[in-house]
Amino acid sequence: MVSTLDVIVGLVIVSSGSAGFLRGFSQEVLGVAAWIVASFAALYGLAWVRPFASDILPWTWMADAVTAMVIFLVVLVLLTALSRIVSGMIRKTLFSTLDHSLGFFFGLVRGATVVFLTYMLVEFLMPSANQPAWMREAGSVSLMQCGTAFFRSVVPDALAGKASH
């Protein structure tokens, strides 16, 4: 029998796939790249902008937080605009159908990744023995356990000890 958890897992994966289809593979990949680049820009740009921010804001922690957030958001907005331009150009070519199809599969993988990482967090906070029966008996649990096992196998050993209970 299909449980509520199974329906939620399915909806997360299918809705992510649908969003990927609508946006297209190029925009999805460029969007992920934009978040990664913006994160690194905030991390490494903070040292360059910190002196200016500390002159304006009284507390160091506040200056660092605001500066990192502003750098992140500026870079993210610029790269998101660029990714939309590039994906818009791709939509006008013969590759549009392929772009949307690959976007659907990318979305499915992203949705599954979100489900697996969420289940990994749930396992960390609430070991299997302590999980409610409706969660343990859901059909999707075995799939989520396989996914979390895969993620644990690719995580470096130094982090694996911290990510398991």
Residue in this structure with the two tokens 């460029």, named with its chain if needed: 30
pTM (2 d.p.): 0.74
Residue 11 and residue 107: Cα distance in Å, rounded?
12
pLDDT of residue 57: 74
How many of the other CB atoms lie within 10 Å of CB of 26? 24
pLDDT of residue 49: 82
pLDDT of residue 137: 84
pLDDT of residue 159: 60
**136, part of any domain:** no
Residue 86 and residue 122: Cα distance in Å, rounded?
38
**163, part of any domain:** no
Q: How many domains does the chain have?
A: 1
Among left, alpha and beta (phi > 0; psi -120 to 50; other), residue 155 is beta
Please give the structure tokens belonging to residue 113: 């990744």
**15, part of any domain:** yes
**130, part of any domain:** no
- What one-character DSSP code corresponds to residue 29? H
pLDDT (tens digit, 0 to 9) for every residue of the chain, 165 residues total? 788 899 999 999 999 999 999 999 999 999 999 999 999 999 898 888 887 777 777 787 787 888 899 999 999 999 999 999 998 898 888 899 999 999 999 999 999 999 999 998 988 888 888 888 888 888 898 899 899 888 888 877 656 555 554
**127, part of any domain:** no
Q: Residue 58: give the domain boundaries.
A: 4-118
Residue 115 and residue 144: Cα distance in Å, rounded?
7
